[in-house]
Each structure stands twice: as C-alpha cells, then as structure tokens.
Amino acid sequence: MDPDYRRQILTGWGLTSPSAALVGDVSPAELVERLKEPTGRGVIARGLGRSYGDAAQNAGGVVLRIKGSPSEIVIDSDSGTVTVGAGVSLDELMKFLVPRGWFVPVTPGTRFVTVGGAIASDIHGKNHHVEGSFGSHVRRMRVVVASGDLIECSPSENSDLFWTTIGGMGLTGFVVEATFALIAIETSRCLVDTVRCRDFDELIGEMSVGDDDVRYSVAWVDLVATGRHFGRGVLWRGDHAKLSDLDAEDASDPLSYAPRRLGSIPPVVPGVGLVGRATTRVFNEIWLRKEPMRRAGSVKSIPSYFHPLDSISSWNRLYGRSGFVQYQFVVPFGVEDRLRAIVERIVASGLASPLVVLKRFGSANEAPLSFPMPGWTLTVDMPAGAEGLSNLARSLDDAVLEAGGRHYLAKDALTSASVVRAGYPRLDEWRSIRDRWDPDRLFVSDLARRLQLI
Amino acid sequence: MENAVHEPQHVLVLGGTSDIGLAIARRLMSENTTYVGLACRRPEKAALAVESLTRPGTQVEALEFDATRVDGHKEFFERVVADHGDLDLVVLAFGQLGDQERFDDDPVSAAALVDVNFGSAVAVALEVARRFREQGHGTLVVLSSVAGERVRKANFVYGSSKAGLDAFAQGLGDSLEGSGARVLVVRPGFVHSAMTAGLKPAPFATTPDVVADAVASSLRTGRRIVWAPGILRWIFMVLRHVPHPIWRRLPLG
C-alpha cells in the first residue's frame, strides 16, 4: 500500500456512522495508477465531505480526494461555459467567476462542495424550479472508470456513463474534469423579495403562485409552532441584481465579492448538543420576527443570500457528539394534503431543529438516480442522538413513499434499501449500466453497502 | 453498515440461545437489519429463537458454533462473512454459571467453565476484532457481569472468569481506538433468564429486556461500559470499598 495513504476515521457532515479507511490525495494523473493497485475493499471519491451521511466513506477500503487547483479554471465567454477540475470547490470557483461577471449554474446552501461532488450528488439550489439541477447544466465531463481509462462523456457521447455518473454518488468512477454552463451576471448582489406567511396553507399558497417568474425561491418553515401558527414561515424570492438596481456606492464596484467567515463552533459542545426543543422555539420566534411581513427588492450579497451558514465554520458541531441527520424528501405536486400530514408528524415529534427548508422543484433530468422531480422538497435537521428518531424516520419514510416521493441520497444516513428501491424505480437500469463500466465493483461506499445500491 | 442511529444491518449473536443475547438482538433489529445469525452449539435448539426474530426483509438463521473449539473460529467467521457480508454487530453472549459447590470437589469442571467464559471468549473476540479492523467498522458487545466487579464467595469461579473477560474487553476496546470499531462492555446484575432459573434472585434483579434497553441507549450515546440496571454502578462504587470482614458476610446470594 502506498505510504502516503493515511488511516483515518471519516464521517459525513452529520458526524454520524464513522468508519475507518485509507485516505489519500491524488492528482488526476496519479489516479489512473492508483486504481490499478489492488485494494480489497474498493475505492470511493471524496470531495469536501459535505454530504451528510456515509456517501463519501469506504470502511476498510480506500478513499481518494482529487487535488483541485483554481489555476485549472478556464472560462469560454462565447459559449458561456467553464471547464474546471473536479476537485475545485464552488467557493474557489465563485471567487474566480463573480468578479469576471459569471455565476455557477446551481449552488446549494453551502459553497464548500467540489465540482465532482456537485455532479455525483446532482445537487440542486434555489433555482431548481426553473433551471433544474447541476447535472442539467453539464456539457461534458471526463471520467476515470474502473478499467483506468479516461472516458469523455456528454449527452451525445457515452451518454450512458454521463447520465449514470450524474447523481451516481461516485459509484461509476472519478469525475476529473467537467465543462458546464454559467449564468452571466451584471453585479455580485441579489435583489430579494420577502413574504412572511402566517401558517402552512398560506405558505403553500404563496409558493404555488408566481414561482415560475423568479429565478431563486426558497422558504423557511417553523417546525415547532403548533395550532394556528402551524407551518408558518418565510418565503424569499430573488434574482441577481442588475447594474441599474444598485445605488451609486455599490455600482462603483458592482462585481466585488468577498465572502467572510465570522467564526467557528469549537469542538467542545456538550455531548447532547445545543439544539433542543426549547432553544429551537426561541430561535424560531426571533428568526421569524426579524423578517418583515412583506418587502420587495432588498439588496443582499451572494454569501448572505445563498450561503448564510457558511459564515460559521463547523456549525455541524452544534448537535454534539452524536451528530445529526438531515432528512430530505420530495413529494409530487397535487398531494399537498399528504405533505401537510408529513409536516404535522415532524412537528408532533418535537425533533425538528431550526434548520428547515421548503422548496418547489421543477422538471427532472435524464439521470436515473437524480433526486429532484416536480414537487415539494422539505429538508429538516434532527439530532441523531434523540430518542424516537428512528421510529419517526420510519413513519416518514412510509408516508413519503405513499405520497409517491423519494429521498435524497446525498443527505441520507437513516433510510433503508427497500425505501430507496421503491423511491427510485430506475435503480435497476442504473445498476446494469454501472455494472458494465465497473464489472468487478471497484467503486463502493458505505452508502452503497448500506442501501445495497450495487 | 450501521445507519446514523447505530441500527445494524448484519448481526451475529454468539451464544444464540442466550436470553440476554436474543433480547439485545431483538431490541437492535430495525428496517436496516437484513441478517441475524444465531451461533450456538446445538442449532436445533434455536428453532424457537429463529422464529421469534424472523420478520419480512430479515433473514434469521441458527449456525453451529462451538466457542471452545478455538481453532475453528477463523473458518466460522470466514464462512459467515462470505455468505452475508460485513458483520456490523457481534454480541458475545455465551457463558456458563456453573455450580460453585460442585467446583470444590471437581476442579476440572471449574477449569472448563473458565475456558468457556474467558479463554474461548478471548479467542473469539480477538478474531472478531481482527475482522473489524480490516473492514474499518463494527461493534462488539461483550456480556460481562457485576459478579466480576467484586468477586464473592458464592460464585467466585464464575465471578473471576467474568472479571477476566471484563478487563480483557476494556483493553480490547482501547486497542481498537481509531480502527472504526468499538467495544461495549455490559455488566448486568442478576438477570431472570434460563441461566438463572431456580436460583434465588439477588437484590436489584433485572430482566433481559432491561439489559437490552441499556445496550441500545449506550450504543446510541457512545458509552463503553454500561450497568444494568443502572443503579448497580453506584451500588458497586460503594461495595468495591466495603472492608473484607463485612463483604464476606453480606447476604448477596
């Protein structure tokens, strides 16, 4: 075994399900050689470890991180695309792109994800309802497959590998480079409209009207409030500001971009964490009241609009040693009563933290394991050490499946193989294509073992 | 693989007819659990246990396993892992209580008991630990006993065998630090079970389900030692320091 591998305990962002693996950092060129070495228990790629569960872990096997360098970023202004190494993060990418008048096609709630991870999880953002997920913007990629060959793929060339890699959780190979479309921006600010909603019905109603006319839309829901406040929340809609939207001071440097980090959560949080029902109740009340009932056109920076949590490092430690689970599912439009029943169940459990997101998805793409489909997606963080979490998750799993929905693999740490099989009817199709590219099952992860994906 | 709340996918109970071992398995089984193996000397005696654990989506089977045949351990685990994949949870639940009065006249049977409770347990736990290190994850639950915390005259052969096992298991847990695997040492008091049928219960007697609950919550919170019932921890904190002349005379069964 190569001496620069280190045995290391890995977890996802949720800090649950630790396992040990041999971890190494490699360049794309070294990767080909590394994949030829026998590993016994397979290999998986790992980016910045922001998937919440065990997707980027490989117990007893090898975990490789692809070195990425911002010097590899190449913009093609004519086609409005960028070509970049898979190990480069969206953070590095934005620092390069924004001052030049470009923005990534999709950003999740954190900019600390790699391009490779964005493709493997087929991530989505606040613009999914009109612009789809990350994979929908990828024009071509280069993937190192199990044979060690570097394969060019796109929607027209090796399209089976292309679409199984998008959302494929790293189980088809290593993405080493990708070309994808960008959004042209005039400024680095966003114009945001805010609507505070009194209850669940009002929130669903507000979100159902007019979403298609705005690029970015996302809501926060209070999953502690009961009675007449049940399902109250705040809806934020926005778009990149135009130059004419800025005042004279901002307009003098319209593309300035300087994300800041305010601080870090130290590794000394008490074992049970700081997120409980009482703290959540207080936080939610303040969080809601700081928002106006209705306000149009406030100017916000990219970090404060898209990545508010990124200003605090290691916020995942707030949940204590047992970590937390981020439960995310989607249910189709038309079953809002079922969505309501699911939300009621979460509220009744008392396990929800303040971190809750409700969003409408638009069309799905062609990738068999891509998570988004037209419908409502709800994301809620819950402490993993909480008694009753398992029972709650089981009952939610059933309710999500009955509503015709499914779960997001990049977040998953708790659902079961049968639930994933039921939620992803194209799993077998994905599996058979995957097996053609990796007949000996070189690529494997803890997630794949737990959910029997391969 | 375990999920985020430590529910195992593949479970093996060594001592597959042990009431406590079965209660732990039952308590930790979930939707995530697809396989439970019950390893015991006479698999035909485990039919009821297999039936009681079987549910849709979970394969439960009895496996022939003789803990004292230590040279067969490696092959046994090779076979189980080849058939079912990584073991996430192994419960070391076999053990014998023996009859202290008989040991005085039959030292050979005392040696045999220590061989089962300690020697064989050490061998099998080391084999499990070796596999856990290789696979980078896994939880070993070792059934110790309060009888090993301070050995008393009424069952000092049994007690000393558990004292050895307890110390060994703690050391094993420390040696597995950083390997992704972990060891939970369980110290039950008197447990109403097949092993203790007909005996006079000691104070704070408990049930296999109480032990199983204690194991489940300890696995969730990451503890390394758990007492069942929990109050025994505090009681033994005192009993450990009781002067010998008094200790000898305490009516502890």
Q: Is the pLDDT of residue B220 over 90?
A: no
Quick: pLDDT tens for B4-26: 999 999 999 999 999 999 999 99
CB proximity list for A48: less than 8 A, separation 6 or greater: A89, A112, A113, A114, A117
| CA A323 – CA A340 distance, rounded (Å) | 27
Residues of B within 8 A of A19 (CB-CB) are: 1, 136-137, 180
CB B137 to CB A60 under 8 A?
A: yes
CB proximity list for A426: less than 8 A, separation 6 or greater: A368, A369
Check CB contact of A34 with chain B, cutoff 8 Å: no
Quick: pLDDT tens for B85-113: 999 999 999 999 999 989 999 999 999 99
| CA A377 – CA A294 distance, rounded (Å) | 23
The answer for A 112-171 residues in CB contact with B (under 8 A) is: none
Provide the pLDDT for residue A386: 87
CB proximity list for A344: less than 8 A, separation 6 or greater: A230
Q: Is the pLDDT of residue B221 over 70?
A: yes
Q: Which of B10, B30, B88, B137 to mutate to test the interface with A (most CBs of A within 10 A)?
A: B137
Between A21, A54, A416, which is nearest B32 by CB? A416
Please tell me whether residue B49 adopts helix, strand or coil conformation: helix
Average pLDDT, chain A: 93
| CA A96 – CA A188 distance, rounded (Å) | 12
Q: Which of A39, A324, A389, A446 to mutate to test the interface with B (most CBs of B within 10 A)?
A: A446
Check CB contact of A259 with chain B, cutoff 8 Å: no
Q: Which of B31, B35, B132, B221 to mutate to test the interface with A (most CBs of A within 10 A)?
A: B31
Provide the pLDDT for residue B38: 98
Quick: pLDDT tens for B140-198: 999 999 999 999 888 999 999 999 999 999 999 999 999 999 999 999 998 898 888 88
Q: Is the pLDDT of residue A38 over 80?
A: no
Q: Is the pLDDT of residue A268 over 70?
A: no
CB B4 to CB A59 under 8 A?
A: no
Q: Is the pLDDT of residue A263 over 80?
A: no
Provide the pLDDT for residue A269: 66
Chain A nearest C-alpha distance from B86 (Å): 9
Provide the pLDDT for residue A288: 80
pLDDT band at A37 (very low <50, low <70, confident <90, very high): confident
Mean pLDDT on B32-57: 95
Chain B nearest C-alpha distance from A2 (Å): 17
- Measured at the CA of A347, the angle between CA A343 and CA A349, to 5 degrees, comes to 120
A-B contacts (CB, under 8 Å): 90
Q: Which residues of B touch A (CB under 8 A)?
A: 1-5, 7, 9, 30-32, 34, 57, 85-86, 134-137, 178-181, 217, 220-222
Please state, in angstroms and as integers, the Cα–Cα distance from residue A323 to each residue in A275, A289, A411, following that order. Answer: 11, 29, 13
SS (H, E, C) A224-274: CCCHHHCCCEEEEEEEECCHHHCCHHHHCCCCCCCCCCCEECCCCCCCCCC
Check CB contact of A385 with chain B, cutoff 8 Å: yes
- The per-residue b/e assignment along B190-218, b for 16 or more CB within 10 angstroms, e otherwise, is bbebeeeeeeeebeebbbbbbbbbbbbeb
| CA B225 – CA B174 distance, rounded (Å) | 12
Chain B nearest C-alpha distance from A59 (Å): 5
Between B1, B4, B136, which is nearest A325 by CB? B4
Q: Is B158 in the active site?
A: yes
Between B1, B4, B30, which is nearest A384 by CB? B4
Mean pLDDT on B51-68: 95
Between B57, B137, B217, which is nearest A19 by CB? B137
Residues of B within 8 A of A417 (CB-CB) are: 34
Element (H, E) at A207: helix A200-208
CB atoms within 10 A of CB A148: 14
Q: Which of B5, B59, B81 to mutate to test the interface with A (most CBs of A within 10 A)?
A: B5
| CA B63 – CA B73 distance, rounded (Å) | 12
Q: What φ, ψ does residue A244 adopt, rounded to 5°? A: -70, -15
| CA A90 – CA B146 distance, rounded (Å) | 55
Please tell me whether residue A152 adopts helix, strand or coil conformation: strand
Check CB contact of A384 with chain B, cutoff 8 Å: yes
Given B158, B168, B190, B227, the catalytic residue:
B158
Check CB contact of A419 with chain B, cutoff 8 Å: yes
Residues of A within 8 A of B182 (CB-CB) are: none
Chain A nearest C-alpha distance from B127 (Å): 16
**B84: nearest CA partner in chain A:** A449
Provide the pLDDT for residue A320: 83
Provide the pLDDT for residue A271: 63
pLDDT band at B81 (very low <50, low <70, confident <90, very high): very high
**A446: nearest CA partner in chain B:** B1
Helices (H) and strands (E) in chain A, counts: 14, 21
CB B220 to CB A21 under 8 A?
A: no
pLDDT band at A280 (very low <50, low <70, confident <90, very high): confident
Provide the pLDDT for residue B102: 92
In percent, the amount of chain A with pLDDT more than 70 equals 98
